[in-house]
Structure 1
Amino acid sequence: MTKTVLILPGTALIYIPILIQRFSERWRFGVSVGTRLHCAVVAMLAVPALVLAANTMKLFAHDGHGTPAPWDPPQKFVVSGPYRFVRNPMLSSVILMILAEAVALNSPLLLSWALCFFLLNTVASYS
């Protein structure tokens, strides 16, 4: 399970945002970091995203007898929990986490990355 977290969502949530921030440190929104409203918005995005991610991974392991990784897919089709309402709740949680990162770091480029990530996954799901 650790490999799955480090490779799949890790690329979208850690490695690419680090590269974006590393090469674009001068790009920032004008909002001051650390205000109560700012922290509340970050929490409103991050907490549900983390709960959703943990819940969906648990469902894959418990109900599906597998992981989100392509090399160890679920053996059973999971239709419980958030999968009753959303086709890919794991993807929704990753997008919410990227949005939380963008707000936390005041980064319009991370916001752009969230949009690109959403569009890439939307197009890929229809092909």
Structure 2
Amino acid sequence: MPKTIAVLGSALFFVVAPLVLAGFVPWWITHWEFRPPFSGIELTRAIGLMLIIAGVPGVVDSFARFALEGLGTPAPIAPPQKLVVTGLYRYVRNPIYIAVVAVIFGQALLFGDWRLLWYGALLWLFFHVWVVMIEEPTLKQTFGTEYESFRTNVPRWIPRLTPWRAR
């Protein structure tokens, strides 16, 4: 896939997936109205803001890497032609899912809304099942030993402390 098409496809999928999952749905649930902070602790709001600030660039960077390095998109209908193992992918195999859930949990903490915590937990569970049952077998079939090396060295959900470097 040409880079231009990959960038446009990734941008379109960005609007369809992360923006809806981590933007529209949380707004629909909360209308971004502040409730009392969890356990009455204002610090939870600051932690929530930090999760949002950390999550958004993680999603954007990962989407850009899919288009510019992988020559594809994160969308299953237009997957990358090359395995992406740079950026946040040196630390964890699923930075997009982690970042999206971080933004949702961040909003839950910021707005003090338990419903968003439940939504984020259910979405993470869906992501986990998707990764294990669909995504990982597809990547193994598509990229073979290159993916196996990546999978062996980079954890699925909990980031490494040091970056992995593909040989």
Superposition TM-score, scaled by structure 1 size: 0.79
CA distance in 1, matches of 2:38, 2:43: 15
Name structure 1 gaps, 5 residues minimum: none
CA distance in 1, matches of 2:91, 2:35: 40
Over aligned residues, Cα RMSD in angstroms?
2.5
Indicate the SS of the match to 2:17: helix
Cα pair distance change 1:39/1:30, threshold 3 Å:
closer
Contact 1:28 1:108 in 2 (8 A): no
The answer to whether the aligner puts 1:3 opposite 2:12 as a matched pair is yes
Aligned positions of 1:38-53 closer than 5 A: 38-53=44-59
Deviation at 1:73, TM superposition (A): 2.0
The answer to whether the aligner puts 1:12 opposite 2:21 as a matched pair is yes
The answer to whether the aligner puts 1:83 opposite 2:112 as a matched pair is no
**Higher relative contact order, chain-length normalized (CA < 8 Å, sep 6+):** 1
CA distance in 2, matches of 1:40, 1:107: 14
Counterpart residue type for residue 91 of structure 1: Y
The answer to whether the aligner puts 1:59 opposite 2:62 as a matched pair is no
Q: Percent identity among equivalent residues?
A: 30
The answer to whether the aligner puts 1:21 opposite 2:27 as a matched pair is no
Question: Aligned to 1:105, which of 111, 117, 121?
Answer: 111
Name structure 2 gaps, 5 residues minimum: 1-9, 134-167
- Farther off after superposition, 91-100 or 79-88: 79-88
1:33-65 superposed Cα distances (whole Å, 9 cap, x missing partner): xxx734421232112112211221121122111
Deviation at 1:118, TM superposition (A): 0.9
Cα pair distance change 1:50/1:38, threshold 3 Å:
same
1:66-125 superposed Cα distances (whole Å, 9 cap, x missing partner): 222233321111111221221111001001000111112110010111111111111222
Contact 2:45 2:111 in 1 (8 A): no
Contact 1:27 1:109 in 2 (8 A): no
- Farther off after superposition, 109-118 or 64-73: 64-73
Cα pair distance change 1:82/1:47, threshold 3 Å:
same
Aligned residues: 122
Cα pair distance change 1:2/1:62, threshold 3 Å:
closer
